[in-house]
Structure 1
Amino acid sequence: MASLLLLLHLLPPQPGGQKSPKISASDAVERLVVFHKSCCSLEEHLRGQQGLQPYLLAVGRQRSKIDSFYIVMDKCLIPCQTNGSLGAFDELFKAHFVNIVFSPILTMGMTIYLKHLIVEHHKLFKFLYSHRNLIPKHHFMIHYPSSIRKIGPLLHMWSMRFEAKHKMFIEYFKNFKNITKSLAKKHQMATAYHWETISIKENEHGPLKPFSLKDEDVVNKEMLQMISSGDVFSTSWVRVEGVEYRPGLAVCSTIQDEMPVFCQISDVLLVDNTFLLLPKQLFTETFDDHHHAFRIVQSEERHLVKKT
């Protein structure tokens, strides 16, 4: 266990981060398991947090009496489903495991760490659930590190969309005499039915109602000229080429300096058979490695997006 804990803090640093010096196993345990008295505020602990690696926060009145565990990732608390220490460690290992398996770029050292992580996970699983047997998926996990070294990140070989395609055959396939012919015939009939029943309308929208323009809605002269040239209506949703847009939805409007620029739709307008999205600008701060998402900041800046 101590050797595995030490591996957690020997991972490569995050992009742009400082290199972490090697530490002892005892220091790794102190960094991975932090005690917090239940009478103290959790928000104060998060404000003083430093470092990027996930760790366990043990909350209780005494070190010997822990009431609950949390996984702390990027100043956010993720409650553990179990109150036991081994179960909490199991959830922490899964957090590291998912972060590695879904990463688009991996180093050789991370594949070695993943190998030890899988071994420790299987040992903890058998210890916690001694009456349960390991299933084939647990065995497949053993081959992940070697497969990554041979064919690259597993994210590029994900078959989720192919599995979703099987749903139609699983639900409606009943003939097992000539499997390949039955599959082809069912798929051909389903495709024909889809194209016969699909809507041929390029643009669809919800109920329309008159839209009154406010001073703060005027973002530029182009918008003012377009809106003043005809009647303006607003709608709760619009579907353009199969993509649906609604007020409150955040969309990517452009790419600047290799970072996406997002905006949040406040109104969907219709002017002379032209759909206009009136969004609020969102500023992209950075990419959050732990949550695999972009961190954004709201603003009152507005611009016009045309959808035809």
Structure 2
Amino acid sequence: MRRILTYAQIENRFESFIYGQNDEPNRPPPVRQKHLVNNLISGSAAQKLLLFQVLPLIFYDVIDRLNDLMWIYKCLREIVSIVFSTKIRKSWLPYLSSLTNSFHSLMLDKLPDQITAKVHFITHYPELIRRNGPPRNYWCQRFEGKHLYFKKLALRSSNFKNISFTLAKRHQLRLSWLLSHDCFYNLNDKSISTKFIKALELPIDTKRLLVRHKFDYPVYEECQTLIHNHVKFMRNSVFITKLLYQEEIPEFVLLRHILKVEKSWILIVQHLQTVSFDETLWSYEISYLEQLSVMNLDECINILPHGLDIYSLNDAYFVNVLTRLTV
């Protein structure tokens, strides 16, 4: 027993951690002492995945004291980064095979009592990917999401005489309503928290940028959140615009404003500099630049089709990316 933190301190770490606006919808439930004692963390698959992702950020000041156990996390984190990628190169598969074998060996050596069948199944992932492509295209998460709807519906309806008929009827009614909606087939941009803002109310650097791009208007329509092609753009979110050099270092931008100009939405972004990749936190350390740019919606989702959050630790800023990136 290392006795690094007490159960009360661990519970407090989980409860006091502030999740970013993009991660908040999948915020995991509180982790109690009974969960740690019984080795059973509650929550959905998405919540557990987020907890696994931000674990080094929650325990950033004691993570280096875990020593050999930290190697297990790093090995599994790198496996997850490849397996969950939207694009996987064939050249990654031999390396993935060595990672899965290393993880299997580490679990047998360090945590033999925690071995499950999944620890062995993970060694078959490289061959599975070679035959069928990225697992994201055929994973069971969508089935679990659909199943969750039926489970909630069964509890809320409180009708168990003919549960199959109840679920089928409610699902058909819901599907009919969705199909009759105007935007079901036509993907229209959906803005949330929209308001009109005068040009004088914008920051001076933003106003100069708009004038330089010939978007000089007295009043603009601005929104806090915009849904475009099923991607949610929220102010103060981070997006990846491109990958630099042979190492494919991500170039990050921070979304400052979402403005409507000439019946189309544009993004005012602030560029971020990628300082380094912190292997302990498994996050990119970034710094703010004074450079602003105007981008369209599709420029920000070519690499990763969702927003990211910035976490501050010890006067430094980090962006946690789950998947390995490539083009």
Normalising by the residue count of structure 2, what TM-score does the alignment of the two structures yield? 0.50
Q: What residue is the counterpart of 2:145 in the other structure?
A: 164
- Structure label with greater radius of gyration: 1
Go from structure 1 to structure 2 and tell me whether the alpha carbon gap of 1:121 and 1:249 turns closer, same or farther (over 3 Å shift): same
Match of 1:92 among 70, 89, 98: 70
More strand by percentage = 1
Distance 2:190 2:127 in 1: 46
1:287: how far off? 5.0
Go from structure 1 to structure 2 and tell me whether the alpha carbon gap of 1:99 and 1:215 turns closer, same or farther (over 3 Å shift): closer
Asked if structure 1 preserves the Cα contact closer than 8 Å seen for 2:268 and 2:292, the reply is yes
Match of 1:283 among 254, 273, 285: 273
Amino acid in structure 2 at the alignment position of 1:140:
A
Residues 200-228 of structure 1: CA deviation (Å, up to 9, x unaligned): 863424222323156533137652x221x
Asked if structure 2 preserves the Cα contact closer than 8 Å seen for 1:252 and 1:262, the reply is yes
Q: What residue is the counterpart of 1:193 in the other structure?
A: 177
Residues 105-149 of structure 1: CA deviation (Å, up to 9, x unaligned): 435443332222222454355xxxxxxxxxxxx532342354236
Go from structure 1 to structure 2 and tell me whether the alpha carbon gap of 1:185 and 1:289 turns closer, same or farther (over 3 Å shift): farther
RMSD of aligned residue pairs (Cα, Å) = 4.4
Q: What residue is the counterpart of 2:256 in the other structure?
A: 266
Distance 2:215 2:243 in 1: 26
Q: Secondary structure at the match of 2:274?
A: strand
Match of 1:79 among 62, 72, 95: 62
Q: What residue is the counterpart of 1:231 in the other structure?
A: 218
Greater RCO, 1 or 2 (C-alpha within 8 Å, sep 6+): 2
Q: Structure 2: which 5+ runs fail to align?
A: 3-55, 83-91, 299-327
Distance 2:291 2:117 in 1: 50
Q: Secondary structure at the match of 1:248?
A: coil
Go from structure 1 to structure 2 and tell me whether the alpha carbon gap of 1:300 and 1:92 turns closer, same or farther (over 3 Å shift): same
2:144 is aligned with 1:118 = no
**1:28-43 pair list within 5 angstroms:** none
Distance 1:175 1:236 in 2: 44
Aligned length: 216
More helix by percentage = 2
1:155: how far off? 7.6
Residues 261-304 of structure 1: CA deviation (Å, up to 9, x unaligned): 32112233333433332221112345555555444331001111
Match of 1:207 among 171, 184, 195: 195
Distance 1:100 1:300 in 2: 33
Q: Structure 1: which 5+ runs fail to align?
A: 1-32, 34-72, 126-137
Amino acid in structure 1 at the alignment position of 2:258:
V
Asked if structure 2 preserves the Cα contact closer than 8 Å seen for 1:246 and 1:265, the reply is yes
Q: Secondary structure at the match of 2:268?
A: strand
Amino acid in structure 2 at the alignment position of 1:95:
Y
Asked if structure 2 preserves the Cα contact closer than 8 Å seen for 1:276 and 1:306, the reply is yes
Distance 1:273 1:279 in 2: 19
Go from structure 1 to structure 2 and tell me whether the alpha carbon gap of 1:117 and 1:197 turns closer, same or farther (over 3 Å shift): same
2:236 is aligned with 1:253 = no
Go from structure 1 to structure 2 and tell me whether the alpha carbon gap of 1:143 and 1:256 turns closer, same or farther (over 3 Å shift): closer
Q: What residue is the counterpart of 1:49 in the other structure?
A: none
Go from structure 1 to structure 2 and tell me whether the alpha carbon gap of 1:234 and 1:147 turns closer, same or farther (over 3 Å shift): same
Asked if structure 1 preserves the Cα contact closer than 8 Å seen for 2:225 and 2:235, the reply is no
